[in-house]
A and B are shown apart, each in its own frame.
Chain A
Amino acid sequence: AQTVTQSQPEMSVQEAETVTLSCTYDTSESDYYLFWYKQPPSRQMILVIRQEAYKQQNATENRFSVNFQKAAKSFSLKISDSQLGDAAMYFCAYRNLEGYNKLIFGAGTRLAVHP
């Protein structure tokens, strides 16, 4: 069975600085999706960025980018120029292409942003 591990329960960053959130996963599949989701306090979960495993190029969305290392099964999220609104729980998630597309989530990392 696939698993997703986020080893950092909490992280903090100064406003305008850069922070990297770690995620590792375990799978025997060769083709899959990886995601980072953001859950702001008392607000709904939204997608931050996604990576298709068959694409070697790392995904980028504005200030958010990933470092996808397929052989190492690592998928870290880098937030550049951190803003106060980035404070949230961040969840790493994995999805197979086969089956009913269930998402498997990590335990989450709570990010605090200090002014």
Chain B
Amino acid sequence: DVKVTQSSRYLVKRTGEKVFLECVQDMDHENMFWYRQDPGLGLRLIYFSYDVKMKEKGDIPEGYSVSREKKERFSLILESASTNQTSMYLCANFPGTLVRLAGGLANTGELFFGEGSRLTVL
């Protein structure tokens, strides 16, 4: 089974602090994602990466940056935390891309999640 580990389950930071959220996967999966989960809004994509040193903005990248120096590690960075960044942050990954082959798709399309990091910014 894929294991996705997020370094901190709970963090409390002050406004203006720099925050690092770490995510490590133990499988050789190309695609990694950072989502933010808020009540009534579901999960919203912040950033994703499809390869080492590659990154793409998701739907809500403002105020965030990411780093992917190694395939297994994808970090989310809040350069200057603000109270509106108080949220649950979920890391996820996905092995490769969906490819249609004879007889069906090449993989399941399943996304594997970490346990989440609940960040409170005071």
| Interface presence of B33 (CB below 8 A) | yes
Separation of A45 and B35 alpha carbons in the complex (Å): 12
Say whether A33 contacts B98, CB under 8 Å: yes
Is B94's CB under 8 angstroms from A101's CB? yes
How far apart are the CA atoms of A102 and B58 in the complex, in Å? 9
Minimum distance in angstroms from B28 CB to a CB of chain A: 17
* Distance between Cα atoms of A32 and B56 in the complex (Å): 21
B62 smallest CB distance to A (angstroms) = 17
Query: Which residues of B lie under 8 Å from residue A91 when comparing CB positions?
Result: 42-43
Instruction: Look across to chain B and name the residue whose beta carbon is closest to the beta carbon of A104.
Output: B45
CB pair B116–A105 under 8 Å, yes or no, is no
Cβ < 8 Å to B, chain A residues 60-93: 91, 93
Question: Interface 1/0s, chain B 19-41, versus A by CB < 8 A?
Answer: 00000000000010101000011
In which size bucket is the chain A interface? Answer: 20 to 34
Whether B110 contacts A45 by the Cβ 8 Å rule is: no
Q: Return the CB mask of A1-29 against B: 1 if under 8 Å, else 0.
A: 00010100100000000000000000000
Residues A107 and B42 in contact in the complex (CB < 8 Å), given A44-B113, A47-B110, A97-B100: yes
Name the distance in Å between B55's Cβ and chain A's nearest Cβ: 11
How long is the Cα–Cα vector from A91 to B35 in the complex, in angstroms? 13
Assess the A95–B43 pair: CB atoms within 8 A: no
**B63: Cβ under 8 A from any A Cβ:** no
Q: Which residues of B contact A97 (CB under 8 A)?
A: 98, 100, 105
A45 to B112 alpha-carbon distance, docked (Å): 8
Within the complex, which residue of A43, A52, A101, A106 is in contact with B42, where a contact is CB–CB below 8 Å?
A: A106
Q: A100-B31, A102-B45, A107-B40 are in contact. List 14 more A-B contacts (CB 8 A).
A: A4-B42, A33-B98, A35-B111, A44-B113, A44-B114, A44-B116, A52-B104, A52-B105, A93-B111, A97-B100, A100-B50, A103-B45, A103-B92, A107-B42
